[in-house]
C-alpha cells in the first residue's frame, strides 16, 4: 500500500520555526533561574537567624557559612553542567537516576522535584504578596485573593509559551540583578553605613557549636534551590541546546555566587543582625544605599522577583512531567503539547495544586519556605551520586577528580537534606515525609496500569490484517424533518443495514401516531422500529434494542441541531447527550452529526 507523506509547513529536519518558541541564554535565566536568584532575599536571612541564637558574636560566622554555601553552589553548577551534556532530553536528576540508579530512585527524584516545584509556586507567590501587604497593610484581608490573581497572571503568561514568559520577565530579572549588584558595589565602596542602624544586642540562647553551624549551613542552603531547573528543561533551549543550557547554568552559578558572597560580606561589614519585621536584605540595602528612593526601588524589585520566582516551576515541571509520562510514570496527557509547544496539562496541574495550597494555607507560607528545599536536595543528592556512577562507568580523562567532586557534593547535599527534614519535621516536614511516598506509589500504580493496557493492546506484536464485517446503523428518531432526512442519508451511505428507532411513552400516544403517519407519508425506504417504554426512560429502551442486534459492528448515529449562537446551546433537547452518555457503557460505536441552524436560508436538501 502506498503511504504518502504530505508535509504542511516546513520540512522535517529544519524546524527553524520552532526555535522562535525556545530559549537563549538570557531567556534561560529569565524563565528558569528566578527561583534561584530570589534566594538572595531569604537565604542570608536564614543563616543569620540561626546564628543569632548563639548571640552577636556568632554572627561573625555569617560570611564563612556563606562562602561554604557558595562552594557547594560551585560544585552543583559544575555537576549540572555535566548532567546537561549527558541528558540533552532534560529531566535533570530524574534522567540521571533513571540511567544510573534504577527506577525506584528515579521515581523518588521525580516525585521530590514535583513536590518542590509545586511548593515553590505557592511559597513564591505568597512571599511576594506578603511583602506587598507589609508595605500596604490595608490589603491584608485580600491576601488570598491577591495570591490567586498573581498566580493566574503567571499561569496565563506561561500558557502562551515558555519563550513568551521568558521575554515578559527579562526586564524584572535584569533590573533585579542590577539592583542587587548596585547594593553590593556601593556597600563595598562605602566606609560606613548610610543609615546608622539600631544595633540590637542579640541575647545568646545557645552556644556556638558544630551543630549550630551545620544548621545555619543547612538553612542557608535554601538559597541553592532552583539551580537544577535549567538541567530539567534542556529541550526548551534553542539549538544547540546543550551549549545554550550549559552557558545559562554557568551564568546562573556565577551570578548567584557573586550575589551571595557580596551580601555576606556586607552583612559582616555592617554588623547586621536579625531585627523583627525587617528583612536582612532590606537592612543591607538601607546601609548601602540609604533610605531614599533607591531603597524602595530595590525593595519593590525584590517583591516582584519573589513572585516571579514561581515562573521557574512553570518552566521546569511541565517538561519533567512530559518525560515522566513518556516513561509511563504519569498519565500520558502530560506528554501532550499544544500550540507553541506549551505543555498545557502540566501547567494546569501546577496552577491548580498551587492554588489549592494557597487557599488552604490562607496565604500563610512562612513555615513552608524551607520545606521545598528538602525535595530539591533529595534531587541534588540523587543526581550527584548518579553522576559518580556515570564517571565510574565511562571513565574519561580525569574521572577520579570528577567522581570525587560529585561524591563530596552528594554527601553535602544529602546531609543538608537530612538536617532540614529533621529540624523542620514538626513545622511541616511531615508533609514531605507523607507526600513523597504517596506520589511515588501513585506513579508506580500508573506504570503498572499502562503495562496491563499494553498487554491487552498487544503492543509490539504485528496484528492480523483488518477485515470488514457486517454493520448496522441505528438512528434514533422522533419527528420527521430535515434533520431526520440528513441523518438517514448519512446512515444509508455507511452501513449494510439501517434501522430507525422511535422510543414512545405513555401519554404520548397522540404524538406517536402522528409521527408514524408522517413517516409513512414520507416513505424514506428505511425500516422503522417503535419501542414502548412505560417508565418514561429515554436511553435504556434504546440500549436494550441495540444490544440485541446480531451484526458485528453496531453504530448509533445521533443527529442534533447546532445552534449558531453559544447561548442557544441550552435550547438543545439533550436527548442526544443522554443517549450518547448511556451508550458509553456498551460496545457500540457512537456517531454524532450536527445540523447547523443558523440564519442561512434553507437550501434544497441533499437529493
Binding mask 312-351 for a second copy (x = CB under 8 A): -------------------xxx-xxxxxxx---x------
Q: Which of 73, 538, 546, 579 binds a second copy (CB under 8 A)?
A: 538
Triad 377, 378, 383: Cα angle to 5°:
95
412 lies in the site for a second copy, by CB under 8 A: no
Binding mask 2-21 for a second copy (x = CB under 8 A): xxxxxxxxxxxx-x-xx---
Q: Are 40 and 259 in contact (CB under 8 A)?
A: yes
Q: Which of 524, 543, 549, 582 binds a second copy (CB under 8 A)?
A: 524
Of 69-77, 191-199, 402-410, 520-528, the window that binds a second copy (rule: CB under 8 A) is 520-528
**Cβ-Cβ contacts under 8 Å for 224 (sequence gap 6 or more):** 36, 39, 69, 72, 73, 76, 373, 376, 380
- Longest CA–CA span in the chain (Å) reads 104
Shortest spacing between CB 124 and a second copy, in angstroms: 28
**Residues in 355-394 that interact with a second copy by CB under 8 A:** none
Shortest spacing between CB 227 and a second copy, in angstroms: 26
* Rounded distance between C-alpha atoms, residue 401 and residue 391, angstroms: 10
**Residues in 485-514 that interact with a second copy by CB under 8 A:** 485-486, 488-490, 492-496, 504-507, 509, 512
Of 46-54, 109-117, 138-146, 461-469, the window that binds a second copy (rule: CB under 8 A) is 461-469
C-beta closer to a second copy: residue 138 or 599: 599
Name the 3-class secondary structure at 502.
Answer: strand
Identify the sign of the CA torsion 384, 386, 392, 398: negative
* Rounded distance between C-alpha atoms, residue 320 and residue 93, angstroms: 10
Q: Which of 464, 510, 550, 566 binds a second copy (CB under 8 A)?
A: 464
Binding mask 222-261 for a second copy (x = CB under 8 A): -------------x--------------------------
**Cβ-Cβ contacts under 8 Å for 140 (sequence gap 6 or more):** 133
Shortest spacing between CB 235 and a second copy, in angstroms: 8
Q: Are 379 and 96 in contact (CB under 8 A)?
A: no
Beta strands in 171-306 (DSSP E): none
C-beta closer to a second copy: residue 427 or 509: 509
449 lies in the site for a second copy, by CB under 8 A: yes
Q: Which of 171, 366, 481, 547 binds a second copy (CB under 8 A)?
A: 481
C-beta closer to a second copy: residue 344 or 389: 344
Q: Which of 254, 459, 514, 581 binds a second copy (CB under 8 A)?
A: 459
* Rounded distance between C-alpha atoms, residue 307 and residue 346, angstroms: 20
Could you give the C-alpha distances from 468 to 53, 257, 471, 551, 552, in angstroms and in order? 80, 68, 9, 12, 10
Please name every residue paired with 54 in a beta bridge, in sequence order, or none if there are none: 204
Amino acid at each position: 500500500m502506498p503511504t504518502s507523506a504530505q508535509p504542511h509547513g516546513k520540512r522535517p529536519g529544519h524546524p527553524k520555526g520552532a526555535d522562535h518558541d525556545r530559549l537563549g541564554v538570557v531567556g534561560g535565566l529569565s524563565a528558569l533561574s528566578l527561583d534561584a536568584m530570589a534566594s538572595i532575599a531569604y537565604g542570608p536571612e536564614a543563616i543569620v537567624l540561626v546564628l543569632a541564637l548563639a548571640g552577636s558574636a556568632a554572627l561573625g560566622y555569617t560570611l564563612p557559612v556563606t562562602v561554604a554555601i557558595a562552594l557547594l553552589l560551585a560544585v552543583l553548577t559544575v555537576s549540572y553542567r555535566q548532567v546537561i551534556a549527558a541528558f540533552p532530553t532534560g529531566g535533570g536528576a530524574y534522567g540521571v537516576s533513571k540511567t544510573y540508579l534504577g527506577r525506584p530512585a528515579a521515581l523518588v527524584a521525580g516525585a521530590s522535584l514535583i513536590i518542590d516545584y509545586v511548593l515553590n509556586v505557592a511559597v513564591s507567590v505568597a512571599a511576594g504578596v506578603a511583602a506587598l501587604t507589609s508595605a500596604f497593610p490595608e490589603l491584608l484581608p485580600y491576601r488570598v485573593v491577591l495570591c490567586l490573581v498573581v498566580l493566574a497572571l503567571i499561569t496565563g503568561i506561561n500558557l502562551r509559551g515558555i519563550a513568551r514568559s521568558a521575554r515578559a520577565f527579562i526586564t524584572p530579572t535584569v533590573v533585579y540583578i542590577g539592583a542587587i549588584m548596585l547594593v553590593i558595589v556601593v556597600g563595598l565602596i562605602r566606609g560606613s553605613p548610610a543609615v546608622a542602624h539600631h544595633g540590637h544586642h542579640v541575647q545568646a540562647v545557645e552556644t556556638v557549636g558544630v551543630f549550630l553551624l551545620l544548621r545555619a549551613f543547612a538553612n542557608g542552603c535554601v538559597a541553592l534551590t532552583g539551580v537544577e531547573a535549567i538541567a530539567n528543561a534542556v529541550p526548551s533551549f534553542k539549538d544547540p541546546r546543550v551549549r545554550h543550557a550549559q552557558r545559562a547554568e554557568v551564568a546562573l552559578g556565577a551570578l548567584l555566587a557573586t550575589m551571595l558572597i557580596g551580601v555576606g560580606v556586607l552583612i559582616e561589614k555592617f554588623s547586621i543582625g536579625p531585627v523583627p519585621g525587617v528583612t536582612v536584605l532590606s537592612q543591607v540595602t538601607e546601609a548601602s544605599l540609604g533610605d531614599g528612593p533607591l531603597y524602595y526601588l530595590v525593595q519593590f524589585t525584590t517583591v516582584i522577583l519573589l513572585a516571579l520566582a514561581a515562573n521557574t516551576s512553570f518552566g521546569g515541571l511541565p517538561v519533567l512531567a512530559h518525560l515522566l509520562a513518556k516513561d509511563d510514570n504519569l498519565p500520558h496527557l502530560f506528554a501532550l503539547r499544544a500550540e507553541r509547544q506549551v505543555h498545557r496539562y502540566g501547567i494546569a496541574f501546577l496552577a491548580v495544586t498551587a492554588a489549592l495550597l494557597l487557599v488552604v494555607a490562607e496565604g500563610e507560607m512562612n513555615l513552608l519556605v524551607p520545606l521545598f528545599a528538602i525535595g530539591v536536595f533529595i534531587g541534588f543528592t540523587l543526581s550527584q551520586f548518579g553522576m559518580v556512577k556515570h564517571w565510574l562507568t565511562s571513565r574519561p580523562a580525569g574521572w577520579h577528580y570528577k567522581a570525587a567532586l560529585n561524591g563530596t557534593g552528594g554527601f553535602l547535599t544529602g546531609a543538608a537534606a537530612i538536617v532540614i527534614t529533621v529540624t523542620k519535621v514538626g513545622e511541616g516536614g511531615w508533609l514531605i515525609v507523607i507526600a513523597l511516598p504517596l506520589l511515588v506509589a501513585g506513579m508506580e500504580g500508573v506504570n503498572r496500569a499502562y503495562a496491563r493496557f499494553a498487554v491487552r493492546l498487544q503492543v509490539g506484536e504485528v496484528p492480523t490484517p483488518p477485515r470488514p464485517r457486517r454493520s448496522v446503523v441505528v438512528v434514533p428518531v422522533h419527528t420527521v424533518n430535515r434533520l431526520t432526512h440528513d441523518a438517514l442519508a448519512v446512515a444509508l451511505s455507511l452501513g449494510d443495514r439501517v434501522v430507525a428507532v422511535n422510543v414512545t411513552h405513555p401519554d404520548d400516544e397522540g404524538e406517536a401516531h402522528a409521527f408514524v403517519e408522517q413517516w409513512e407519508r414520507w416513505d424514506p425506504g428505511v425500516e422503522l422500529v417503535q419501542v414502548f417504554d412505560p417508565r418514561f426512560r429515554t436511553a435504556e429502551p434504546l440500549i436494550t434494542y441495540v444490544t440485541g442486534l446480531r451484526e458485528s459492528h453496531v453504530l448509533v448515529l445521533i443527529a442534533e441541531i447546532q445552534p449558531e449562537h453559544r447561548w442557544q446551546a441550552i435550547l438543545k433537547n439533550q436527548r442526544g447527550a443522554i443517549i450518547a452518555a448511556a451508550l458509553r457503557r456498551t460496545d457500540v460505536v457512537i456517531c454524532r452529526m450536527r445540523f447547523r441552524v443558523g440564519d442561512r436560508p434553507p437550501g434544497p436538501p441533499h437529493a
